[in-house]
Structure 1
Amino acid sequence: MSQSLEDLGAHIAASMTSAIEAHEVAFGELNLTARADQIYAVIKFLRDDPRCKFTSMIDICGVDYPERAKRFDVVYHLLSMQLNHRVRIRIATDEQTPVASVATIYPCADWFEREAFDMYGILFSNHPDLRRILTDYGFEGYPLRKDFPLSGHVEVRYDSEQQRVVYEPVKLAQAFRNFDFLSPWEGMTLPGDEKAGDGRNKP
């Protein structure tokens, strides 16, 4: 299997020399690194080429590396059910440069790209309806960016006096914050913790 994937990777790289920057086989899957401005042509080739036949799109997701100038990776996962092969394509982009939408190649990419936009702020050009899909209207920020605060920016609650949902800035009163930095559970008491200091659990 790995040799056939190596051969397939070499075929793709030789066929798209200006678009594919690197290829390797890892964990039984073919991994391609492509140029962001060529991603539409790469995805179309992988679907249509008779040696590839990647007719199913599994996922599109984002990865955030805030220390890089091009902080985002956009990762595409495709499947060839006929040839029983999988491929992962990775491109790099920044916060301002849009990536070409592949929704006209795989219609399911529509919602995958909307999710990447909603969670990371990754832009897709020529997308039929690029708007948030998981967060609420008027949501500020991008929750899966590594610089997004864990507590978020606002909290949502139902106000019985106004009889509607209201949004308020997050307020964490320091007096009520109790952190146990020795425990990964931050203060949660688990069954058996009472034995930790009496020596009975030692060999």
Structure 2
Amino acid sequence: MSMKKLLVFLFCIIFLTACGFEVEKNEEEGKEAIDTDTKDSEPNQNDDKEAVEVDKNLLSVEVTIPSSMIESTDESIAKAEEEGLKVTENEDGSLTYKMSKSKHKEMMNEIKKQLDQSMEEIKTSGDFPSIQDITSNEDFSEFHLSVDREGYENSMDGFAVLGIGITGMMYQLYDGASPDDYDVTINVKDSKSDEVFDTIHYPEDMQTME
């Protein structure tokens, strides 16, 4: 994904966040317990199949998107169903996407993959020459940038900070963080002196951009 396309996508996520994009994780109990006697008598292949089905029934994730962010309800539902997701249209016009925990894990892994690729591209593409290195913690709530300070402060390379900050928030939201609690901290460090000369907090510092 090019940085231009990434930034366009991330600006869309700003509106998702502002409108209260909500992620709700639910653990549901299955209606029927597995009959262990029957299970023991079945071949191993059937045991594996049951294990998958039980995982899908017992663990689910719901993602609710407000109506203000839905351009076409029918198209949104059709697209989700193509991806194997169960969709419910709520009375307020919002859509709730329900998926198995395995599907949710797959989605989270894909977001992580895209974010890792974006961080690598920021470092190597040449679009942000002052940024020499980027690291993060596991849940993408904290990033560390090592930069050429003079070049960073006299360029538009700070747009890269916006990109990874919003993506970090998106990752946390999809992972179940409350819109009131999630936070991304970005520390910008001078590569020569190791001094942290700027710290950005999202979404708090997004207010200063308005």
TM-score normalised to the size of structure 1? 0.24
Q: Which has the higher helix share?
A: 2
Structure with more contact order per residue of length (Cα contacts < 8 Å, sep ≥ 6):
2
Q: Is the radius of gyration larger for structure 1 or structure 2? A: 1
- What TM-score, normalized to structure 2? 0.23
